[in-house]
Amino acid sequence: MWPLLMLVQTTAEPPLRIDLKPLLPEPSCDRNTGEGEIVVCGDRDDGRYRLTALPERRFEGSGRAQVRLSDRATLSAEGESAGLAGGVTVPRLMARLRIGF
């Protein structure tokens, strides 16, 4: 096996010359041949990489998501705000599990 592998390596050689063609962009505007002038070619699209504004959405209703787990149990999640000392309000998310007797 090894002699066969060594024979393959000795007979294989890289090509003598590799010609690569450079890929140049096609000109998109006329080039000026005047001396001392700079011509800038390109697309001017300022919003190409910007995200569009999201539509303003308002949620109506109680703001509560509720799922019935069984005949007697429900799970709900809702947003609230709680007041702390000094008049600071803090938003919080409450999850409530209600089980009927």
- Decide if pLDDT at 8 tops 80: no
The helix or strand, by DSSP H or E, that contains position 74, with its residue range, turns out to be: strand 73-83
CA distance 53 to 48: 14
Q: What does the pLDDT look like over 51-74, one tens digit per residue?
A: 888 777 765 666 778 899 999 999
Nearest to 70 by CA among 32, 43, 49, 100: 100
Q: What does the pLDDT look like over 13-57, one tens digit per residue?
A: 777 777 777 777 666 566 666 677 777 777 777 777 888 887 777
> What residue segments make up the domains of the chain, in order of their start?
62-101
Regarding pTM above 0.75, the answer is: no
